[in-house]
């Protein structure tokens, strides 16, 4: 892995991909980074939707599957953490020169993200496998609420961040 100017480590394959694309198309590293970050965010949003659907299918069952349910919950937590890290470490630093109204929208996303992280942690702590087994209908309702919130959050992020990232790349790429 190699270090980038932003301080995070970049896999060797990504460095090679950026260098090849930069030389082939004449795009700057900063523009390529924006495209890569946007692509990664869209991929993570897709992964989250998929795992949320898996969890919905599991909670539709009459009884909890004690082998699969923890695996899906862990997968959801990991993908969500990757998305949060991408936004905080890679996207937020790119947004230093945006319009004040866009900055307020991003700050709103960040503020809500902090609140949702607390709610998510409380949900995970409350709903251990023991409590899920004891109150499967209650967990199913709580899980449905959390899944709906997560899907709304993904839509909000997409509505705000996709256009901003696309706009940051467009004037320079044209």
pLDDT by residue (tens digit) across 7-32? Answer: 455 555 455 455 545 555 556 788 88
> What span, in angstroms and rounded, lies between the C-alpha atoms of 157 and 104?
13
CA distances from 38 to 25, 94, 106, 127, 169 (A): 18, 11, 15, 33, 10
From the list 162, 169, 41, the residue with the least C-alpha distance to 105 is 162
Q: Are 99 and 18 in contact (CB under 8 A)?
A: no
Q: What band does 4 get if pLDDT is binned at 50, 70 and 90?
A: very low
End-to-end CA distance of the chain: 31
Residue 169, pLDDT above cutoff 80: yes
Q: What band does 68 get if pLDDT is binned at 50, 70 and 90?
A: very high
CB atoms within 10 A of CB 139: 21
Q: Which pTM does this prediction carry?
A: 0.81
CB atoms within 10 A of CB 99: 10
Percent of the chain exceeding pLDDT 90 equals: 74
- Type and span of the H or E element at 62: none
CA distances from 109 to 62, 116, 129, 134, 158 (A): 36, 10, 31, 35, 11
């Amino acid at each position: 892995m190699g270090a980038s100017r932003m301080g995070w480590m970049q896999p060797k394959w990504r460095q090679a991909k950026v260098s090849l694309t930069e030389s082939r198309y004449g795009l700057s590293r900063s523009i390529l980074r924006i495209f890569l970050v946007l692509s990664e965010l869209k991929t993570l949003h897709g992964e989250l939707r998929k795992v949320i659907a898996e969890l919905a299918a599991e909670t539709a069952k009459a009884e909890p599957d004690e082998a699969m349910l923890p695996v899906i919950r862990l997968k959801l937590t990991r993908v969500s953490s990757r998305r949060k890290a991408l936004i905080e470490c890679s996207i937020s630093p790119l947004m230093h020169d945006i319009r004040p109204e866009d900055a307020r929208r991003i700050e709103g996303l960040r503020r809500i993200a902090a609140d949702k992280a607390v709610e998510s942690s409380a949900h995970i702590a409350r709903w251990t496998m023991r409590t899920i087994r004891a109150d499967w209908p209650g967990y199913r309702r709580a899980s449905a609420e959390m899944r709906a919130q997560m899907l709304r959050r993904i839509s909000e992020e997409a509505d705000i961040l996709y256009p901003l990232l696309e706009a940051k790349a467009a004037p320079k790429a044209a």
